[in-house]
Amino acid sequence: MRPVKPEPLLSVRNLSKHYPLRHWWGGRSAVFRAVEDVSFDIAPGETLGLVGESGSGKSTIGRAVTMLNPPSTGTVAFEGTDLASLPAREMRRMRRRIQVIFQDPYAALNPRMSAGAYVAEPFRLHRPDMGGAESRDAVAALFQRVGLDPRFAGRYPHQFSGGQRQRLCIARAIALKPSFIVADEPIAALDVSIQAQVVNLLQDLQEELGLSYLFISHDLRMVRYLCHRVAVLRRGRIVELADSDTLYEDPRHPYTRALLGAVPVPDPAAERARLRATREAPAAAIPEAGPLEEVGPGHWVARAAHV
């Protein structure tokens, strides 16, 4: 049994990503299982949150479902088409519909390309029919849409603040009217006062364009706010998957509980009480995750693996 919803936009089944581990003098080879047997769906207009600690496989999944780093096994069906078996030409066309936003907007930008040229690049690559004037107008509209002054199109990345750079990356990501965006830690590198701006923008764009997001984040507070459903990842496996209210109010897996219990609360009395309670309660042992089991409607929890 797998978590399934009718007519998903993206349907990931039994996705695994293995890396060969070879000892440096040769010898017995082994595999590192970065992601193991992960399945989930994303509905049109839905945001699925992917949370878990560093090394849990969050980003690997993001790169696998976009075929930036294709999975070792498993299928990734986008509107019913398996991306892994798609010929390169077809995949290139598909890329218009699937976009990625990364953590560090400065690294994603080309320092020697003006902001306008950067946002217009998808048009050059995918819309050769577009004339110069048409492209300029489209870029101006995109700047406006993400809250940037179109007069800044001639500026270079270093002339923008971190938040503005992330807006540029978002403008480029929505240029070709995608239906699905993987946002990999899009606010982690931003100042606290800027994070809410970017989250609000992502949400507005979702409402306007009917976008689906895979929102990869370690910010459990933002994930609850932004995501319809949340998958908790540990050591490459999903340990729990549910709609976000259920997951945050009724976490079943000991790992989910540990994760949610570790989030500091910005209220002094409540936070001191939380620290005291944590000090007194012994940490629960966390079993290795086995297959998922549906404990309530749409609420999936990993059984303890039989070792």
Partner 1 sequence: MKASPPLLDVRDLAVAFDTDGGTVHAVNGVSYALREGETLGIVGESGSGKSVHVLAMLGLVPRPPGRITGGQVYFSGSDLLALPERRLRRVRGPEIGMVFQDPMSSLNPAMTVAAQVAEPLRLHCGLDASSARARARDLLDLVRIPDAARRLDHYPHEFSGGQRQRVMIAIGLACRPKLLIADEATTALDVTVQAEIVALVQELKREIGMAIIWITHDLGVVAGIADTVQVMYAGRIVERGPVDAVFSDPRNAYTLGLLRSLPDLSRGRAGRQRLRQIEGSPPDMRHPPPGDPFAPRNPYATPRCRAEAPPLAQVRGSVPGHLAAAWYDLPARLADGAGR
Binding site for partner 1 (CB under 8 A): 53-54, 161-164, 191-197, 199-200, 203, 218, 220-222, 224-225, 228, 244-245, 248-249, 258-259, 261-272, 274-275, 278-279
Give the shortest CB-196-to-partner 1 separation in angstroms.
Answer: 4
Q: Whats the size of the chain, residue-wise?
A: 307
Residue (175 or 231) nearer to partner 1, CB: 231
3-state DSSP of 224-276: HHHCCEEEEEECCEEEEEEEHHHHHHCCCCHHHHHHHHCCCCCCHHHHHHHHH
92 forms beta bridges with: none
Decide whether 182 or 198 has the Cβ nearer to partner 1.
198
- φ, ψ of residue 187 in degrees (nearest 5): -115, 0
Residue 39 CB neighbours (<10 A): 19
Is there a contact between 202 and 213 (Cβ–Cβ < 8 Å)?
yes
DSSP letters spanning 168-231: HHHHHHHTT--SEEEEESTTTTS-HHHHHHHHHHHHHHHHHH--EEEEE-S-HHHHHHH-SEEE
- Cβ-proximal residues to 211 (8 Å cutoff; 6+ apart), any chain: 45, 174, 178, 179, 180, 181, 205
Q: Which is nearer to partner 1, 33 or 274 (CB)?
A: 274
Which residue number, 68 or 277, has a Cβ lying nearer to partner 1? 277
40: region left, alpha or beta (phi > 0 left; psi from -120 to 50 alpha): beta
Tell me the two tokens of residue 175: 């240029």
Nearest to 40 by CA among 79, 1, 2: 2
- C-beta of 3: minimal distance to partner 1 in Å? 19
Which of 35, 223 has the CB closer to partner 1?
A: 223
**What is the smallest separation between the CB atom of 270 and partner 1, expressed in angstroms?**
8
Q: Cβ closer to partner 1: 78 or 143?
A: 143
- The least CB distance from residue 104 to partner 1, in Å, is 13
Q: How far is the CB of 259 from partner 1 (least distance, A)?
A: 6
- Return the SS3 of 105: helix
CB of 214 to partner 1, least distance (A): 18
Tell me the closest approach of the beta carbon of residue 269 to partner 1, in angstroms: 7
Q: Which residue, 10 or 222, has its beta carbon nearer to partner 1?
A: 222
CB of 162 to partner 1, least distance (A): 8
- Give 86 or 152: the residue with its C-beta nearer to partner 1: 152
Count H helices and E strands in the chain, helices first: 11, 12
